[in-house]
Amino acid sequence: MEYTPADEILIEEKWQELEEACRKAKVCRREDDWQFIRRAFFLAKEAHKGVRRRSGEPYVVHPIEVALIAVREIGLGKKSVVAALLHDVVEDTEYTLEDIERIFTPKIASMVDGLTKMSGVFNADSSEQAEYFRKVLLTLSDDVRVIIIKIADRLHNMRTLGAMPHHKQIKITSETIYLFVPLAYRLGLHAIKSELEDLCMKYRFPEEYEEIKRKIDETEPERQVFIDRFTAPIRQMLDDNKFQYEMTARVKSVYSIWNKMRRKNIPFEEVYDLFAIRIVFKALPFPSEKTQCWQIYSCVTDIYTPHPGRLRDWVSIPKSNGYEALHSTVMGPDGIWVEVQVRTERMDDIAERGFAAHWKYKHSTISQEEDGLEKWLRKVREALNSPTENALEFLDNFKLSLYKSDIVVFTPKGKNISLPYGATVLDFAYEIHTKIGDHAIGAKINHRIMPITTRLNSGDQVEVITADSARPKASSLETVVTSKARQAIQDYLKSERRDNIEFGMQRLEEALANYNVSLNGRVLRKLMAAYDCRGKDELYSKIGAGIIELDNLEKLLKENSSRKILKFWKLLIPGSKVDECDEPNLDDEASTLDDTIGTEGEATYAPDFVMAECCEPIPGDRVAGYRDPQSGKIIVHKSTCDTLIRLAAQFGNNIIKEEEIRWSQHKAISYLASVEIHGIDRTGIILDLTKLITADFSINMRAISVQSHDGIFEGTISIYVQDIESLNALLDNIRKIKGIESVKRLLST
């Protein structure tokens, strides 16, 4: 099908826009460069002829838009523009990689190949997807531009997501928030990261998005008056000191505001740091950029008093994604804290455009040491080249390394090491060397002996204490936060489990031989049921580890355990046919949601619903479900749950939409909720609190933990409630107790 006249006009307009962006960015310096890009444009236009996007526009508009993002918003060069224009050609048309190499260059063909493989990442089943992604990340070894162009591709797809059906929107936004947002953050693409987050929220939580956006717009005039009053004396001071600068106020993104409201359980009106003042100045050749940043900081703090605990110096030690700036929070007019950010033009370019700008400035900086981004890329290569059996595990571990704030700690000899916020001694030990991590038993932190689970703070000096007898434990997976530590522990545990399985199988065969019994399926089913094991590997492993002693083996072999086996199979394979006369109802808990699932007019029988322990949803929460392919059960999560987002990104087809799940309205069932309280300690306050919960509201408590220090107390309470309304009513009444300063529901995600 040929292009219509309207199509030709639209395509030509977009092409002219791309040409203008390339000229402005000085992408092409010779006529040959222009011909190189034009050739890619005409090939893409011809290859995608007759194909339209879901929105109705010609498909070729999409690669042009991706190229525009690459050059205008990220600052990539000629080869990246060509690769962006051709990124869907090999996957969607009859052109081959050999054609691309012949018409362009081997390098362009290599980049297009990487982009083509990336397209397969999110169209495969989960394990295949993770393996694809692992292979594609190998392109980081020689060309990170492939990943950056893919992020640009995802950004344009998100900008046009409104044309997609709702179930596709959920899957695509989950993939985006799970992987592309952290990747954009790690590569320093701050502006794109923020836009991706906002777009994800717009489609996942449209009502909340529009409400916050409306409030931002409504408060803009009042906010501008304050900003003008705050910045006026700073402008005067900087002008007097002959600085060339631009000063702007940057409002937090909608997603960032919403995230803070959720995390702190506060309304929009209590988010006081809605904006930050940014000073971007033209650095002089002398003194150093760092010195000039501190000079401007001094000008600001001569006017406004700085908060002593809120100075962030990323000029002396940049973030691992290359970010450099000075951040200080100062007390402004009317007792309002305001964050002020100070950057040079170079620092601002890197902050907004990330890796591309970082690479542009790399060779003009004095230091030739390996910087944060290069260190991160080196770690990625190491992780990719290390053996791993489970590709899904690799994907989760890799994602873990992306989206963390940094701390800087020091070795005994003074070498600084960047770690993610929340890192422990064990993370530090594995960062030094895998063998040190495997044998770590503690550390000297600032010359004080502390356990390996101790979380580190910026500035700590750490010396790891090891013992030859020490070995990694499964419980350590709960404390480490770096992908390197997690992978090393998992590798060791897998190796140990393999040994246990072999040893356990050998022990079981020898034990059975004593009774002249051979190891077969019937015996295995009987033993798995007796020892509550879901598979033979679990049975062998527990025997090999000494968890199962086999001291009652003779009794088990003689026992008629058909009912146990029946119960075992029903547990293992939900929905299997059993004789109800022989087997009474084995389910101890009633279903917690309606027994039907489906859209209006097409209800069908649903398997059991299980409340996710990670986020503890209760009636009234917005929820979605994940159908476990193994058991058939639907695990219900809050819509905002991080685990759900990961599952939706990896198993999009198994997600049950919110509108298809209905809370039961007639069953008196209690749900676990956790509450955090803070207040001023006084005699009898805990008694008043427990009386209100148990006597006045007839609510059962599962656990209560309270700590008091210097007249201030804080604690958590786990309670059983029927729905969100009863929980909110209880919280409202707790707030009325004398001495209670704040009370909020703890959100697991």
| pLDDT for 103 beyond 80 | yes
Strands 440-445 and 462-466: antiparallel
Block residue for tokens 């702007």: 248
Closest CA to 721 of 592, 583, 584, 552: 592
CA distance 381 to 310: 35
The yes-or-no answer on residue 273 being catalytic is no
Q: Express as a percent the part of the chain with pLDDT over 70.
A: 81
Closest CA to 87 of 137, 26, 43: 43
| pLDDT for 294 beyond 60 | yes
Question: For residue 227, which amino acid is it?
Answer: I
CATH architecture entry for 5-163: Orthogonal Bundle (1.10)
Compute CA distances 327 → 65, 167, 229, 330, whole Å.
34, 41, 20, 10
Residue 398 banded pLDDT, cuts 50, 70, 90 = low
How confident is the model at residue 81, as a pLDDT? 94
| pLDDT for 63 beyond 50 | yes
CA distance 52 to 186: 34
Highest averaged pLDDT of the listed ranges 87-101, 136-150, 553-567: 87-101
- In the chain, domain spans: 5-163, 491-572, 596-660, 671-745
The yes-or-no answer on residue 92 being catalytic is yes
CA distance 610 to 591: 8
What pTM was estimated for this model as a whole?
0.68
CB burial of residue 582 (10 Å; 0-12, 13-18, 19+)? exposed
| pLDDT for 592 beyond 70 | no
Terminal alpha carbon distance of the chain: 49
Cis preceding linkage at 287, omega within 30: yes
Q: Which of 17, 19, 33, 92 is catalytic?
A: 92
CB atoms within 10 A of CB 75: 20
- Asked whether 465 and 449 are in contact (CB, 8 A), the reply is yes
Dihedral of CA atoms 522, 524, 529, 530 in degrees, nearest 10, equals 110
Query: Tens of pLDDT along 164-216?
Result: 888 888 888 888 888 788 888 878 788 899 999 999 999 999 999 999 999 99
How confident is the model at residue 68, as a pLDDT? 95
How confident is the model at residue 48, as a pLDDT? 92
Query: Tens of pLDDT along 237-251?
Result: 999 999 999 999 999
- 698's CB contacts (< 8 A; 6+ apart) are none
Averaged pLDDT score across all residues of the chain: 81
Residue 136 banded pLDDT, cuts 50, 70, 90 = low
How confident is the model at residue 360, as a pLDDT? 61
Q: How many H helices and E strands in the chain?
A: 30, 20
How confident is the model at residue 587, as a pLDDT? 35
| pLDDT for 51 beyond 50 | yes
- Topology alike, domains 5-163 and 671-745: no
Q: Express as a percent the part of the chain with pLDDT over 90.
A: 29
Range in 73-82, 141-150, 312-321, 734-743 with the lowest mean pLDDT: 141-150
Q: Which of 91, 101, 463, 714 is catalytic?
A: 91
Q: Which CATH class is domain 671-745?
A: alpha beta
The stretch 506-533 carries a mean pLDDT of: 83
